[in-house]
Amino acid sequence: MRLLSTRKDRKGREWVVMEDSVTGKEEPRHYSVDSFNHHDKVYPYFFKRNNNLVRVATQWGVDLGEDYERFFQQGLRVSQQISVPTKGVGKVDEEDFLEGPKTYADICEKDYLERAKALEERLLGEVKQAKKRRRNEQYDFMLSFLEESASQEESQSAIDLVACLKGTDIREPSSRFGEPSFEEKANYLKEDKNAELLKVLPNVDASIRPLFFHVARYAELKCHGDNWFDYEFDEFSDFLGSIGPENSRLHLESLLMSLEREENIYELRQLIGYSISEIGEEHFEDYFRSVYDTQRMGYEGCTAIALMDIRSKLTEDQRGKYDVVLKKLTDSGFRKFTSSMMNHIAERRPEFLEDPTLVDNAINIYQSKGDEREAYFSILKPVGDK
């Protein structure tokens, strides 16, 4: 396979140079650029398309064989000819007589475009197969790290997870602006996030590696969307190291719940980072445990964080009473306005913390009318007001 480029000699004449894609050896024969069709930049388009194909095939070790040779020769023919009608070539069929007489150039160009598209599709298919083999070998290698110091249950879970991941197809990029180009697809397939994960995984505490791995590869496991986690392995690993293994386990469980509920993980991560910067390290365990427990009550991750941010500003004595009121509201079905209600109670209505029965009026309004907003407004009034 050949790479195509142009070069000027000492006299300023420009030549087309062909170079072996593997050895880098140039072919002795050079072609004058003047012999190529400059109309609408025909030959540069062919050069670019050829070079994209050749580079991808060389990178992945794919031999395109005779299909490539036919594509290449037809591409040269198209990029060197002048579009003029050629008598006796390409007689008109009855079905397409309205198109007018075809030229030899038209026929060659149509054949070239069809060959190029077929070759690109074939190459992408072979690249996917090669990437899947490499990816599955990486997963097999990761198992040794995932099983290290893990319980029998976690070890089996890791084995099952890897088996599921190995069975998933290699995805192509999606776009809101039409079909991605061959070059965009090839660049996407070239990315190797598993290689980055392999660098980080050994540095993650062994007790949480299976959970870390599950969160890191959740999007691929579910075969949907781009994985929010892919481009910040190092940063996230450092973050987990800073909060300790037990808090990391709670945080990873929280993230997994949010992923399963298809919540906004970007926002959740930003809120977590901001929240822990405002509290002392001695409160980390209580904070991550509280967020996790609140999510288990059915709240979205961001709402759970907001509720725990409110709680963190209270005294130790008030926090237990806060939990009682929150549980009453949650058990009664509140979700949408819970954080607003708890924030108002914590900041302006501390009597509700001292006597949780005061919230019963709001609960009765919600249960009778099904309107959280009206129930919320009811606690804005001083006790006894109507």
DSSP-derived secondary structure letter, 267? H
At residue 101, the 3 state secondary structure works out as coil
Q: Inform me whether the pLDDT recorded for 105 exceeds 80.
A: no
3-state SS string for the chain: CEEEEEEECCCCCEEEEEEECCCCCECCCCEEHHHCCCHHHHHHHHHHHHHHHHHHHHHHCCCCHHHHHHHHHHHHHHHHCCCCCCCCCCCCCHHHHHHCCCCHHHHHHHHHHHHHHHHHHHHHHHHHHHHHHHHHHHHHHHHHHHCCCCCHHHHHHHHHHHHHHHCCCCCCCCCCCCCCCHHHHHHHHHCCHHHHHHHHHHHCCHHHHHHHHHHHCHHHHHCCCCCCCCCCHHHHHHHHHHHCHHHHHHHHHHHHHHHHCCCCHHHHHHHHHHHHHHCCHHHHHHHHHHHHHHHHCCCCHHHHHHHHHHHHCCCHHHHHHHHHHHHHHHHCCCCCCHHHHHHHHHHHCCHHHHCHHHHHHHHHHHHHHCCHHHHHHHCCCCCCCC
User: Looking at 32-36, 138-142, 213-217, 382-386, which range is the least confident one?
Assistant: 382-386
pLDDT in tens, 282-338: 888 888 999 999 999 989 999 999 998 898 888 888 989 999 999 999 999 888 888
pLDDT of 85 above 90: no
Give the model's confidence band at 84: pLDDT under 50 very low, under 70 low, under 90 confident, else very high.
very low
Q: Which of 157-171, 200-214, 224-238 has the lowest mean pLDDT?
A: 224-238
Cβ neighbours of residue 175 closer than 8 Å, sequence gap 6 or more: 184
Output phi, psi for 120, to 5 deg.
Answer: -65, -45
- Beta bridge partners, 3, equal 19
Q: Once rounded to an integer, what is the mean pLDDT over residues 66-79?
A: 90
Indicate whether 386 pLDDT > 60.
no
Backbone torsions φ then ψ of 284, nearest 5 degrees: -55, -45
pLDDT at 228: 54
Share of the chain above pLDDT 70, in %: 89
- The residue among 154 and 310 whose pLDDT is bigger is 310
Q: Return the pLDDT at 183.
A: 92
The pLDDT-based confidence of 91 (bands split at 50, 70, 90) is: very low
User: pTM for the whole thing?
Assistant: 0.77
User: What pLDDT shows up at residue 120?
Assistant: 95
Pick the residue with more confidence: 108 or 97?
Answer: 108
- For residue 90, what pLDDT is reported? 44
- For residue 121, the number of C-alpha atoms closer than 13 Å in the C-beta half-sphere is 6
Mean pLDDT in the chain? 84
pLDDT at residue 138 in the model: 94
